[in-house]
Structure 1
Amino acid sequence: MNKRVFPGVTARTLPRRFGTKLALSLSTALLGAMTLAGCAHQEPFHEHVPAQSNVPSPLNDLGADAGGNSGNNGNGGASSAIDAHATDALDAMGAYLRTLHAFEVDADTATDVVLDNGQNAALLHHTVLKVKRPNRLRADITGNGNGNVRGMVYDGRRFTIYNQKKGFYARQDAPPTLDGLVHDLASNWHIEAPLADLFYWGNGKPDDQSIQAAQIIGVEKVDKRSCTHYAYRQSGADWELWIETGRRPLPCKMIITDTTQSSRPRHEVTYHWKLNPVFAPSTFAFHARAGAREIELKPADRSPYEEAE
């Protein structure tokens, strides 16, 4: 099977009102991180999976021009009205997320890959993200049914990426804050930070021009939570967001559809939140397993989303 990495939407095409860091969220973000792009070791750090579909990436603003890889945005050229209540909801959610100093998110994700015959196939993952601002993060991801755990640990001084099954890990000095870490991962390593949307939602200058349509669908149940369902459209992507009603406007669920491809692959994530948890100091410390081998991490020479064979 030829590996294909699909061109199309980048974060530059996504609205700054949505933080310019619209989440591909967990599974693809961490899958991207686990590739250890540019790693000097010849053995692959990650397990082989088909190429990820080009749903928007939270930090993939390093390469191609905005939407410049495809002349067809899949929207048929249609223009739709923008409901200010729908865009205001993004601002309110982003402002609330920035007030959270400690949180834990369990996320179940399904991310489509496009097979050589054009068929979509969903990869399922479960990720647990633990964050303590301003400078602590741990993300552990499981999936593919093989019992492997991959992840990232950040302690305010350096980040570590690990793969238990492969027995590899890589450490690198890092900036002293989470915001600095996310920027460093993107700029120097082309690594997608896990759930980067949680650090950037609403943190930027509004740019409504990139949103072509925004509307409220209605109030629906996500699990047992009452959430308002919103739908947005922009060049190359349709996306839906469910935001919890009431005093805690937390994201409940998100679906992103890549409209640049005929099969319209999707990324879907459901969030489960724990606010103000108490983390033991060991949560954000990495301890290599017996026999694990440290490998060198070198800057990537290209974005993981460029075409590759």
Structure 2
Amino acid sequence: MICSRTPRRPGLAVVTAMAAMWGALPAHADATAGIKDLVKSMTDFVAAQKSISFDMETDLEIVTTQGQRLSLASSGAIDLSRPDKIRVERKGGFADVAAVYDGKTLSILGRNLNLYAQVPIAGDLDHLIDELRDKYARPLPAADLLKSDSYSQIMTGATGIAYLGAGVILGQMCDHVAMRNDDVDLQIWIAQGDKPYPCRYTITSHAIPGQPQYSVEIWNWKSSPEPGNADFSFTPPAGAQAVEPAKLADTDELPAHLARKN
């Protein structure tokens, strides 16, 4: 059974006021430059951190061929050590997954399956992120924000750049910015203060029918410009069976039974 909660529809006056507020957002060159500086301060801060850890909640929207909008939620955590180590944990309704990369090998464990797979990938975190996205179609959560060149990734081709004011994400005061490119609309909430980390990151695809969203919410952020001491070795649990990566099913955020069949 699918349960849904329908928000109260705003009255026409509210909708009109919201449209007027949007039309009043600054679009002149000085304002755009200031917004870009705000994003640059975030990406520079994240790229400068040698060790990072945070907890996260992800929300993946899918739209069925009948036009029904569904939301798949999961929780997780990320630990990374630049230049070439990361551990990602994610637990949702369909999978309990851990992935560890030590600079040479990516190990993926399906805890609920007691199966694991290992893939040789040599390189830094930027290379890993690109390989997972482009070769394996398995992007890491919040990967666009973790790369050393994330500013260019975010801002290339960006239009409609706007500052939407301050907002609070899980108790943290943030600056809310928005932009778009040919494929997606993007919103980022950036923590105010001397640690401008991303608190929420939302992508809306306008190239896919129904314009589904993907959102990552981040909290318990910890980082240091010095290398950390987290353990990035992988030891399979007792009784776990090694399999080929293709046989490690349902380790992505979109489970196989919900994927569109061509």
TM-score band by shorter chain is 0.7 to 0.9
1:213-292 counterparts in 2 under 5 A?
Answer: 213-272=160-219, 273-276=221-224, 279-281=229-231, 284-292=232-240
Between the two proteins, what is the percent identity of the paired residues?
Answer: 24
- Tell me how far 1:208 sits from its aligned partner: 5.8
Superposed counterparts of 1:129-168, under 5 Å: 129-144=78-93, 148-168=95-115
Q: Tell me the secondary structure at the aligned position of residue 289 of structure 1.
A: coil
CA deviation digits over 1:156-189, x for unaligned, max 9? 2211012112222111222142223223334543
CA gap of 1:109–1:81, structure 2 versus 1, over 3 A, is farther
Q: Deviations over 1:56-108 (max 9, x none)?
A: xxxxxxxxxxxxxxxxxxxxxxxx76722222222221111111111111111
Q: Secondary structure at the match of 1:231?
A: strand
Question: CA-to-partner distance for each residue in 1:91-150, whole Å, 9 max, x for gaps?
Answer: 221111111111111111111111232111110001100111122211010011x6x421
- Rounded to whole Å, the distance in 2 between the matches of 1:166 and 1:94 is 37
**Larger RCO (CA within 8 A; separation ≥ 6):** 1
Cα RMSD (Å) of the superposition?
2.8
Question: AA paired with 1:247?
Answer: D
Distance 1:266 1:134, change over 3 A: same
Partner of 1:174: 121
Local SS of the residue matching 2:127? helix
Q: Distance in 1 between matches of 2:154 and 2:190?
A: 21
One-letter code of the match for 1:285?
S
- Taking a change above 3 Å as real, the CA distance of residues 207 and 288 of structure 1, as seen in their structure-2 partners, is closer
Deviation of 1:204 (Å) = 6.5
* Cα pair distance change 1:234/1:123, threshold 3 Å: same
Q: Distance in 1 between matches of 2:148 and 2:67?
A: 33
Higher normalized strand content (fraction of residues): 2
SS at match of 2:128: helix
**2: CA distance, partners of 1:87 / 1:263:** 29
**TM-score, scaled relative to structure 2:** 0.74
Which residues of structure 2 form unaligned runs of 5+? 1-26, 247-251
Q: Which residue of 2 aligns with 1:10?
A: none
Q: Is the 8 A contact 1:93 1:201 kept in 2?
A: no
Shift of 1:191: 3.1
1:1-55 Cα shifts (integer Å, max 9, x gaps): xxxxxxxxxxxxxxxxxxxxxxxxxxxxxxxxxxxxxxxxxxxxxxxxxxxxxxx
Q: Which secondary structure state, in structure 2, belongs to the residue aligned with residue 142 of structure 1?
A: strand
Contact 2:132 / 2:138 at 8 angstroms: preserved in 1? yes
The alignment of Structure 1 onto Structure 2 pairs a total of residues equal to 221
Give 2:142's match in structure 1, choosing from 195, 201, 221.
195
Q: Secondary structure at the match of 2:244?
A: coil
Q: Point out the structure with the larger helix share.
A: 2
Distance 2:121 2:180 in 1: 35
Unaligned runs of 5+ in 1: 1-79, 299-303
